[in-house]
Chain A
Amino acid sequence: MILEANGLEVRYPAAQRSALKGVGLTLGAGELVAVVGPNGSGKTTLLRALLGTLPLVAGEVRLLGRPLGSWRRREIGQQVGVVTQREESLFPLRVEETVTLGRYAHLRPLARLRESDRAVVAEALRRADVAELAERRTDTLSGGEWQRVRVARALAQEPRLLVLDEPTASLDIRHEMEVFELVRRLAEQGIATLLVTHHLNLAARYADRLLLLHQGTCAVVGPPATVLRSEVVARVFEWPVAVTALSDGAPQIVPLKPGEKPEG
């Protein structure tokens, strides 16, 4: 297993109840798992707990079989690539320079880039489909290009585990699909991939398994067809929905208008 977590509990200072309680997860190489759930259900908190940036009240996280607490940040940076929700770009770099930041965890301080580092960067640019943007400045990119550049930077870390927190927020259909296609491709190349998203329908089509969070606990986990059942989704999201299925069997959620009845 690349990532194993069980019984995770997180409580923010001065909070009444735990933001996360009793959540577990396993993730193997080549697997794509999507974390879904309403706003405030603990999705980002779960990611932070899994990445060791929040103190745990209870539970344990193991990365590559080793307790996360025994890892140094630099070592984690050599195994785990993360695309966070937000990031500041105070002083815009060129795309290639930005992606090269992904090599820092592999470099000694002040050491020059080796040929192998340049090769990894070039490969990351190619895999994320941003090679032709290499010389552009990051402040001239569109939202979709910028997200793919950040995925390329995470790939330059040569990660065994890739974590993405809502990578398609505010992207249009084409750019959203491009990101999902890219993430799926990377998982198929063997990277364990964890994705937080609000897109239930795309998650159902691209993820191997879904983890549905509800008020900080795991409501259901499993293949999309077993998780996205109308009564479960309606209860968790507090809104009536109908579920249809695509020809490949992926369930698709249709939120209902008040008073509307599901067809059939």
Chain B
Amino acid sequence: MIRGRWPGLLALSLAACLAGLALGAVRLPPSAVWAALADPSAPVATIVREIRLPRVLLGFLVGGSLAVSGAVLQALIHNPLGDPYLLGISGGAALAAVLVIAVGVGGAWTLPLAAFAGALLALGLVYRLSLVQGRRLDAHILVLAGVVVSAFTGALVAAILTVSPAGRLRNAFQWMLGGLGAASWESLAVVAAYSVVPLVLLGWQSRGFDLLALGDDAARHLGIEPERLRRMAYIATGCLTAAAVASCGIIGFVGLVVPHAIRLLWGPLHRALLPSAFLLGGAFLVLADALARSVAAPVELPVGIVTALVGVPLFASLLRRSIR
């Protein structure tokens, strides 16, 4: 156990946001960032307030949401490999997004809308498939249904990409690796509208996930209705992930690894795990995005590449140090 969880996480979050505001194609000193935040007429106010601030906030919200979703899904399906994208959501979103890009109507408005619709369709399909014999929503069947839907949409995406012209192929590819380039105050508002209620609901029920991780029988005897909690959590994480994917594409790794990092540092009780995962996931994605914007400037790397390249070694060293 490491002490100072909350001061540490809050300081990290703040530092990540400052870095996100300062780094990019134009590198700003902290004083300039501060001046721009305080005064709308400062010289770099437009860059900081209109471009970077919504991007940083969106990154934080999406990173946090993915980490919370991952943490909840790992308990939900009794599997440490749980990931927000495991349940077919990313597959559905990717299929819809690639479709509109291939047809040539993939714009700032149509792309997120299509991705969101595709994610919800996949979510509904997986849900329906796992309702065998009544309304059990069994953990194993849920995973199988998710894998099946992902495989199917993956095949369709590959088919569409194969027959697409090269220029559009590149666009689709970039979208699938994720990025916060489309961030704006409007997109932040839309994602926030879809995220706040699910996040509050999941946080409210956080203790239930401690019980759910013991298996349905034990959970039931300790006082919860596993099926009801699973249904709520499935829909809530689905909404969070769909909103994240629609606005930023498929950003891998955050949802899988951030919850494990928190568990290794502070243990697996969800009442503290979920808010911690939100902070660490948010800070991690904001930092990854700052790197993605600045390492190869003016070219912007897809942020999904950075989350994996930075996150894997960090996590591997954490894992090695905690298992002795």
Contact = CB atoms under 8 A, between A and B. Distances in A.
Interface of A: 13, 51, 53, 73-74, 76-78, 80-82, 84, 86-94, 97, 101-102, 104-105, 107, 109-110, 153, 157
A199 B4 CA distance: 50
With most chain A CB atoms within 10 A of its CB, the pick from B205, B223, B269 is B223
B205 A157 contact: no
Contacts of A77: 221-224
Interface string B74-105: 11001110000000000000000000000000
Given A73-B223, A88-B213, A101-B211, 20 more contacts: A73-B224, A73-B225, A76-B223, A78-B223, A80-B221, A84-B217, A87-B215, A87-B217, A87-B218, A88-B78, A88-B215, A89-B214, A90-B80, A90-B213, A93-B269, A97-B269, A104-B208, A110-B203, A110-B206, A157-B223
Contacts of B267: 93-94, 97
Interface string B194-232: 000000000111111011011101101111110000000
A84 B221 contact: yes
Contacts of A86: 215, 217
B80 A107 contact: no
Contacts, number: 82
B268 A93 contact: yes
B49 interface: no
A224 to B, nearest CB: 28
B205 A109 contact: yes
Nearest to B210: A101
B263 interface: yes
Contacts of A102: 222
A105 B269 contact: no
B271 interface: yes
A81 B78 contact: no
B223 A105 contact: yes
A12 B45 CA distance: 69
B204 A109 contact: yes
B121 to A, nearest CB: 30
With most chain A CB atoms within 10 A of its CB, the pick from B206, B207, B221, B267 is B221
B317 interface: no
A94 to B, nearest CB: 7
Contacts of B41: none
A110 B217 contact: no
A81 B206 CA distance: 22
A13 B136 CA distance: 14
Contacts of B162: none
A166 to B, nearest CB: 13
24 contacts: A13-B133, A51-B221, A73-B224, A74-B223, A77-B221, A80-B221, A82-B218, A84-B218, A86-B215, A86-B217, A88-B78, A88-B214, A88-B215, A91-B80, A91-B213, A101-B214, A104-B208, A104-B211, A104-B223, A104-B224, A109-B204, A109-B205, A110-B203, A110-B206
A69 to B, nearest CB: 14
Nearest to B228: A73
B207 A107 contact: yes
Nearest to A51: B221
B307 to A, nearest CB: 23
Nearest to A112: B271
Nearest to B225: A73
B268 A91 contact: yes
B320 to A, nearest CB: 18
A192 to B, nearest CB: 15
A82 B204 contact: no
Interface string B226-241: 0000000000000000
A169 to B, nearest CB: 15
A109 B267 CA distance: 19
A93 B205 CA distance: 19
B217 A53 contact: yes
A76 B220 CA distance: 9
A104 B271 CA distance: 12
A81 B221 contact: yes
A148 to B, nearest CB: 16
Contacts of A80: 221
Interface string B12-35: 000000000000000000000000
A101 B217 contact: no
B213 A82 contact: no
Contact of B221 (A13, A82, A90, A94): A82
A237 to B, nearest CB: 27
Contacts of B213: 88, 90-91
B269 to A, nearest CB: 6
B269 A110 contact: no
A73 B133 contact: no
